[in-house]
Structure 1
């Protein structure tokens, strides 16, 4: 019974991303999330840039898109909440696909979807390229 037990989020590999020290990856993901959350929701170009950056990291780490997408399912409750926002948030109304929706609700939904998806994707990439034991050692090295 001495077989190794890898976590289902981790994807074994030998990429430059896998070789980075875990504490560096933790700080990078924290910094990325802070930047994403601090970005105004109207800066659509910035969110596209962040998505391209994550895609580049996934490509360098050789983590397939399907692997990441399956693990993004954890975000479904936030997606459901975001889809309701245009219908329940009060404010100026507009027509979208034949439905009357709230403009502030649309912006709120976009905000939740964009920032949530980028944050979850960054976390999934971190977990995909760093073993759980290494993550714990990285947190310990950062004195957390």
Structure 2
């Protein structure tokens, strides 16, 4: 069994308020769009799929029941606060995608394709030990290009 510790971050496009002058602290967004690592998940990348990782991000065992992780509960609230520059509606307002980060800047975030979510982590991420996981609200992703939308 090979163990990996995945740091979990969040992403939303930076926003400086309606006047374009407000500090990110006041409008509730991270300075460059990326949060600091907020939680850590322990996995075996040779056994765990991206779908299983999604489940581990959302829930953790507590005795005989599964409970929503405190981090994920905060992330749901975060998704509801995010600006929606592309006008998503309905269920898409409550969904997210998983991305990877090798580096220190939001421009280094790569979104995992939906078709790859059934694959093993080791097949999707080439160097798990140097990669953080980024949770991205769907509202921050362009619906056609499937990239981080830069429309503010």
Q: TM-score, normalised by structure 1?
A: 0.32
Higher relative contact order structure (alpha carbons within 8 Å, sequence separation ≥ 6): 1
Judging by fraction of residues, say which structure has more helix.
1
Judging by fraction of residues, say which structure has more strand.
2
Indicate the structure (1 or 2) with the bigger Cα radius of gyration. 1
